[in-house]
Structure 1
Amino acid sequence: MAHDIAAKLTEEQAGRLREQAIWAGLAASWPEAMLNPECARTVWTRLPEEAALTLGLILAGFGPAPFKEEQLLQAARPGIAAGADLRLGLLRLAEAGIVFPVRRGWGEKLFVLPPDSFFVWRRAIRSTRSPQPPEVDPLSVRPIDDEGYVPPFSLQLLHVMAAMGEAGLKLTAKGVLAKRTVAKAAEQLHVRGETLAPLLPPPAGAEAEAYPAGVLLALETMARQGWLVRSGQSLARDDAVWEAWLRLDAADRETALCRSLVEAIAARNGPAAAGAAALAALEAGKWFRLRDVDASHAAGQALLAKPQPSAIEPWCRLLRQLGWLELAADGAGEPAVRWRLDPLGLTDAPREEGGREPAEPAFGPPPVQLTPDGEMFAYEDCPYSVRWQLEGLAERRRTDHMTAYRLETHGYARAAGAGHTADSLAAAVEAMTGEPLPDTVRAMIRMGMDARTAAAGTVRDEAAGTARADAAGAARGDTPGAARAGLEPRGDTVPGAGGSASGPGEPKPVGAAFVYPPSGEGGYELLNERPSVKQLFAGIDEVPSMWLKQFRTYHHSTRRELLEQALSWRATVRLNCEGVATAFIPERIVDEADGWAVAGYRPDAEEPQTVTKLYPGMWDEMMLVLPPPLGVR
């Protein structure tokens, strides 16, 4: 992430990047400006031509995945630019703090774009080049509901956390969760292995083999968010971070989770990143044809020698199972998609910490409804802090637009184990529902708890008043409540252990991965050396200066020497062909029986990707083209 990279720099190094002219006069300074769409749009227009071309190529071909310089040169479509221009563009991007050179161990030098800046740059470029695909008339759309109701991924994770806490977070001798815990977690998830595999293939190793793909994704997310940490031979829940996340504003929470997950997958699967960007560019709440989204993706691949498969269909399947995307067919039967949320939360304002859950409105029904037979119904807008309490005191019977719970045996056992009596539990339920308990429910609670309180070995009649106040506060979203009231699902916890590592709802660095190997800049050593422009062109001091600064006629043998030098630098040459000065990108020299020729590309031609063969007698003056002050453009 951009701020994690900035934290690895000395103050002098970071100051040098902030003082780059490209960031001057913006609403935010580096690195915040990279995450601000309005700033990024301005910076995009300021980039030198070779840097803008190189950034576009990185976004299309690699996304936030690490790449080698040679891979970048090979990825470019023939004829769009000389290798020297791309190398210079990469240098300019590194000088500006947009991409960063890194190395893992003793490996080769790589370059990486911070994952959290990828979608910002994609949107900045798109906004200046192409409009949104045409919207589909919502009246012509027929929803495809093959999988029924799919809760948002945040709610799936809440259910996973509750199920794992109940089943136990102890690790086996192999360092993995027990099969029972894994099975309970898998029951809460809609993500299937065959859906995830095209985008995030399972890693090798015994740990990965112990978990279904959906559970592995959930554990990875929980580790990255800082909710679960390793604690000896167990996993433990960090209550401070977890409860802060529960209290976030619902829309902010879901958007942050979506962005974090998509960025993490894109950082490990560069080719799939462009497909995610094409989908993420769609306006939330509106229907678009997949055919038009594919066309938009294809247009963004124009810079590549080998355009990447879009991966849009696998993304749609995954996002559908995460509860974030809806699928449908238009009047002609063509597939269409609609976001249920703003997938990235990219606004022109700087990113801020997420807000808190709104307090329960003064008028209108409470978030939980209770029936006389002990069933409790949580509406879609029920605060997560309240849902978390429900998981600890009742049995979830059905998850739909309205989630159904019931007070019964297992819930009483959990409440008694947490030290509750019939009175304190009744007080908590009463606070959540906002109304006096029916006599039938109060009797049910007393009967159920009387059988459990003695076994729990504790009596806390005096807790009724405290439970009432805490539960009511949690229902409003203005206090952690659940932990103090003893209503949260069980499981090892480490209160406050990770709360200072990052803000609520903000993902941990990708390096905090649970099983998957690090991605993006995570796990890499940041390299601080910056070569000069002159160092890009080895041996330049031995090259005649007239080759670089004068348009002259040379003997055929000298013409070959000059072209060989251009090939070694991957530079462009300027040739005078029939009285017209033209740029030419040499690719190779071809020896023939009666002489030689040079094959390459003419960027200004109608078909620049077509190979052109020139013989030395087909031009007059010539010169090497290097950036000033080394040469003359």
Structure 2
Amino acid sequence: MKLAALLESLNVPMREEIRRHNGWEEEAGTLEQLLADERKISELNGSLYDLEIKTLTLVLRTFGYKPFDWPKLEKAGRKAFPGAALKVGLIRLSRRGIVFAIQRKWGEAEHRVAEDTFPLWRRQLLPFDQTAAVYAGSDAASDSDYRPGIPSQLLSVLAYTAKEEVALTQKGTMHKRHAGKLSALTPVKDEEFRDAGTLLRPDPDYGSAAAAYLCAMGQSLGLLEKADGRLAVRNSLMRGWLRQTEAEMHAVLYALWKEMNAPRCCWLQHAVSCIEQMPESVWISVCAVAEQMPGESEGLTAGRLTGDSPSRSGLLMDWLSPLIAWGWAESGATPDGKKLFRWLTNPAGSKTGGGTTAATSSSRDEAVAAPCLFIQPDFELIVPPDCPYGVRWELELIADRIRHEHMAVYRMTRETIMRALEQGRTADGTVGFLELHAKHGVPDNVRVAIQQWGEQQSQLRLAPYVVLKCRDEAAARMIGGDERIAPLLGETLGPAAWTVPAEKEAELRALLERSGYSPGGKKGAEGGTAVYLQLPAADDGDFPDSRSGEPADNPAKGHIYSKATVQYYGKEGKFPLVEDVYPGLQEVPSMWLKDCRAYHASTRKQMILKALEWKACLKLRKSGADTVFIPIRLDGIRDDWAVTGFEQLSEVRISPDQWEEMQLILPGIND
């Protein structure tokens, strides 16, 4: 779960308390920005108490950013930490906004570190040796084919949806014809996800797993929606999306991919986070990364030995393999067969700020208008990798992509131009677009052909219309003479009929009904299924929340369920206090807490019982040396008793005559 959602689970007073507790009352920026700022986290780390550092380190090492409840944490730290220490550590970390304690609606509380702050705290407390993970040899060999990046693959799916009438079945699934076409457009095959056994499987009715993922991403971003029995492009949000830089698109799509397929086990979360901080174009030894990970074994499948580095490296490579299919990375091998991995484009390193400056918007507009195409006399268009996506979108709609390697190649034909004209473009507009973006101009034969095809298309056109037809001429005269109705009518079709502009239909229908008429016919009968998407204008807004990875405004429901959603949790009311860990504290003799003293055996037993009740610990003085003892069980009756617990991570059983002095230690009170 992301930091924004976790903060949303807290009320305003709790969020203000986090600011006060961290000394950020006068700091500029939102609480979310401060808690995710690496410089602030470094400062915060320097101000943490030892107990807070130890508790947070245990949480990161054992759970990563997975949710956990109190019994799981207590079990993980039972040898090294008394339960009270972990409770106090969690309370303090919660008040600082580092670990969040949220209440499930059915009453069960759980804790977690935010997914987007986990890598920052991991770097502070569990640093990763990048040098040891880099393969220093010069004999690495790539074994990956070239793939267009995932923004380009998504563009193909969106363009197909805009060009075609992608009708859905009554169950909301895609017809086989469209599913097959989408599958053919995406170069990623199902076999490339086969070894990644932990991946979430999307709806199979979209041709292929890759096409289903891309459709799900489009819907999560609000670029696609199910409307009127078909899958359609949301034009308003497309304009903003196309104005993103490719790096911003990579960051958003990678965040969605991880949301759909978050690493399930803790050590894999650490491994992925470590690889995300590696630079591009550097070969990484997958085995060397796995060997540095915490020793937690959860998630290892049957047939893979727990803690065995080769097994872990295999699981890590399974998770990384789809990143290669999406064009983010490539795999390789050493001469002795060890697996290597390197980023071609590191999407986790493509973070940008939450806003866009006027200078940034201006530079994007200039990039969209800059010449970037090579137009050949045979109607082929050669597109370099740095071509803006606003230009690529228009190419998808006026031409067919026939090849996409490092350079993409499109071809215009009479059919593609006629299709674009049917969708609202004009021949002059298409030629003007090509002239604007062609580095060496538009060949004469290409210009002439497009203009001829435009003339052929404009000579005759079938178009749907809304028609207002009166019963007779007398009724027509009454309608035509009404000064409120007449301005809404279009061309006269005879003595008793008019065309009605599509945008005026609803207003006319309402006005007729208020005037006592009952217009028949089907509302919205004008059809209008073609999609016409202009290139982004300079004053268009940016894509909503694109750099935070959050969904756009009111996005359509995707095909993939996300379990980490805030609606399953209740609002927290207040942070617990450290004193709440020790009910009845005021009844305990103060001398038990001040220093080590010698006590009668009966008093020693009372102190141990109180430590067991509160899950606290004891300081025992044996032969002049002090040791910390965590009691877990008291055995025996009357004067013949002994206590079992952990001392220096080892379980021991001691009787009261084996120490001279003792003190009750309450973490957060007298530690």
C-alpha displacement at 1:37, in angstroms?
A: 1.4
d(CA) in 2 for partners of 1:584 and 1:163?
Answer: 68
* Contact 1:195–1:314 (Cα < 8 Å) also in 2: no
d(CA) in 2 for partners of 1:7 and 1:102?
Answer: 11
Per the alignment, in what secondary structure is the counterpart of residue 620 of structure 2? strand
Say whether residues 1:569 and 2:569 are aligned partners: no
d(CA) in 1 for partners of 2:543 and 2:383?
Answer: 32
- The match for 2:345 is 341
Which amino acid is the alignment partner of residue 103 of structure 1? Q
* Contact 2:255–2:549 (Cα < 8 Å) also in 1: no
**Pair 1:73–1:229, CA change in 2 (3 A):** farther
- The match for 1:202 is 201
Residues 210-237 of structure 1: CA deviation (Å, up to 9, x unaligned): 6754334323322333323454644443
* Contact 2:260–2:560 (Cα < 8 Å) also in 1: no
C-alpha displacement at 1:189, in angstroms?
A: 5.2
- The match for 1:295 is 291
**Pair 1:446–1:269, CA change in 2 (3 A):** farther
* Contact 2:102–2:109 (Cα < 8 Å) also in 1: yes
**Pair 1:564–1:36, CA change in 2 (3 A):** same
Say whether residues 1:516 and 2:560 are aligned partners: yes
**Pair 1:516–1:545, CA change in 2 (3 A):** farther
C-alpha displacement at 1:391, in angstroms?
A: 0.8
**Pair 1:456–1:154, CA change in 2 (3 A):** farther
**Pair 1:196–1:602, CA change in 2 (3 A):** same
Which amino acid is the alignment partner of residue 123 of structure 1? R
- The match for 2:43 is 42
**Pair 1:274–1:199, CA change in 2 (3 A):** farther
d(CA) in 2 for partners of 1:208 and 1:219?
Answer: 12
* Contact 2:267–2:295 (Cα < 8 Å) also in 1: no
Say whether residues 1:433 and 2:430 are aligned partners: no
**Pair 1:559–1:229, CA change in 2 (3 A):** farther
C-alpha displacement at 1:30, in angstroms?
A: 2.8
- The match for 2:173 is 176
- The match for 2:138 is 139
* Contact 2:425–2:532 (Cα < 8 Å) also in 1: no
> Aligned to 1:276, which of 272, 277, 280?
272
Residues 270-328 of structure 1: CA deviation (Å, up to 9, x unaligned): 664223212112223322211221122237999xxx98967421222121112112212
**Pair 1:451–1:555, CA change in 2 (3 A):** farther
Most deviating of 545-554 and 350-359:
350-359
- The match for 1:222 is 218
d(CA) in 1 for partners of 2:533 and 2:170?
Answer: 18
Equivalent positions of 1:93-108 (< 5 A) are 93-108=93-108
Equivalent positions of 1:144-155 (< 5 A) are 144-145=143-144, 148-155=145-152
TM-score (normalizing by structure 1): 0.80
C-alpha displacement at 1:440, in angstroms?
A: 3.2
**Pair 1:563–1:236, CA change in 2 (3 A):** farther
* Contact 1:151–1:323 (Cα < 8 Å) also in 2: yes
C-alpha displacement at 1:239, in angstroms?
A: 2.6
> Aligned to 1:327, which of 319, 328, 331?
331
C-alpha displacement at 1:592, in angstroms?
A: 11
**Pair 1:337–1:178, CA change in 2 (3 A):** same
* Contact 1:285–1:339 (Cα < 8 Å) also in 2: yes
> Aligned to 1:553, which of 598, 601, 617?
598
> Aligned to 2:664, which of 624, 630, 633?
624
* Contact 2:374–2:438 (Cα < 8 Å) also in 1: yes
d(CA) in 2 for partners of 1:116 and 1:88?
Answer: 24
d(CA) in 2 for partners of 1:150 and 1:590?
Answer: 67
* Contact 1:574–1:583 (Cα < 8 Å) also in 2: yes
d(CA) in 2 for partners of 1:520 and 1:514?
Answer: 15
d(CA) in 2 for partners of 1:284 and 1:297?
Answer: 21
**Pair 1:443–1:277, CA change in 2 (3 A):** same
Say whether residues 1:56 and 2:57 are aligned partners: yes
* Contact 1:375–1:407 (Cα < 8 Å) also in 2: yes
d(CA) in 1 for partners of 2:652 and 2:530?
Answer: 70
**Pair 1:509–1:134, CA change in 2 (3 A):** same
Per the alignment, in what secondary structure is the counterpart of residue 42 of structure 1? helix
Which amino acid is the alignment partner of residue 143 of structure 1? S
C-alpha displacement at 1:24, in angstroms?
A: 7.2
Equivalent positions of 1:394-543 (< 5 A) are 394-408=399-413, 410-446=415-451, 449=454, 452-453=457-458, 457=462, 490=531, 502-508=544-550, 514-520=558-564, 522-523=566-567, 524-543=569-588
d(CA) in 2 for partners of 1:599 and 1:491?
Answer: 76
Which amino acid is the alignment partner of residue 141 of structure 1? A
C-alpha displacement at 1:500, in angstroms?
A: 8.8
Which amino acid is the alignment partner of residue 344 of structure 1? A
Per the alignment, in what secondary structure is the counterpart of residue 240 of structure 2? helix
* Contact 2:403–2:409 (Cα < 8 Å) also in 1: yes
Residues 10-32 of structure 1: CA deviation (Å, up to 9, x unaligned): 54443222222354787866321
Per the alignment, in what secondary structure is the counterpart of residue 653 of structure 2? strand
Per the alignment, in what secondary structure is the counterpart of residue 583 of structure 1? strand
Residues 105-151 of structure 1: CA deviation (Å, up to 9, x unaligned): 32412223333222222233345x75543533463321122xx1112
TM-score (normalizing by structure 2): 0.75
* Contact 1:133–1:296 (Cα < 8 Å) also in 2: no
Most deviating of 448-457 and 170-179:
448-457
* Contact 1:54–1:90 (Cα < 8 Å) also in 2: yes
- The match for 1:190 is 188
* Contact 1:368–1:433 (Cα < 8 Å) also in 2: yes
**Pair 1:172–1:72, CA change in 2 (3 A):** farther
* Contact 1:238–1:499 (Cα < 8 Å) also in 2: no
- The match for 1:611 is 651
Most deviating of 51-60 and 514-523:
514-523
**Pair 1:30–1:182, CA change in 2 (3 A):** same
Q: How many residues were matched structurally? A: 583
Per the alignment, in what secondary structure is the counterpart of residue 117 of structure 2? helix
- The match for 2:238 is 242
**Pair 1:542–1:594, CA change in 2 (3 A):** closer
Which amino acid is the alignment partner of residue 109 of structure 1? A
Which amino acid is the alignment partner of residue 266 of structure 1? A
Most deviating of 229-238 and 213-222:
229-238
d(CA) in 2 for partners of 1:508 and 1:500?
Answer: 14
**Pair 1:373–1:528, CA change in 2 (3 A):** same
* Contact 2:9–2:572 (Cα < 8 Å) also in 1: no
C-alpha displacement at 1:394, in angstroms?
A: 0.6
C-alpha displacement at 1:397, in angstroms?
A: 0.9
* Contact 2:18–2:96 (Cα < 8 Å) also in 1: yes
d(CA) in 1 for partners of 2:151 and 2:195?
Answer: 17
* Contact 1:573–1:583 (Cα < 8 Å) also in 2: yes
Gaps of 5+ in 2: 299-305, 464-528
- The match for 1:254 is 250
d(CA) in 1 for partners of 2:405 and 2:437?
Answer: 20
**Pair 1:80–1:346, CA change in 2 (3 A):** farther
Say whether residues 1:165 and 2:162 are aligned partners: yes
Q: Which has the larger radius of gyration?
A: 2
Say whether residues 1:70 and 2:114 are aligned partners: no
Say whether residues 1:584 and 2:634 are aligned partners: no
Aligned sequence identity (%): 27
Residues 29-50 of structure 1: CA deviation (Å, up to 9, x unaligned): 6321222112112212222222
d(CA) in 1 for partners of 2:654 and 2:665?
Answer: 18
C-alpha displacement at 1:343, in angstroms?
A: 3.4
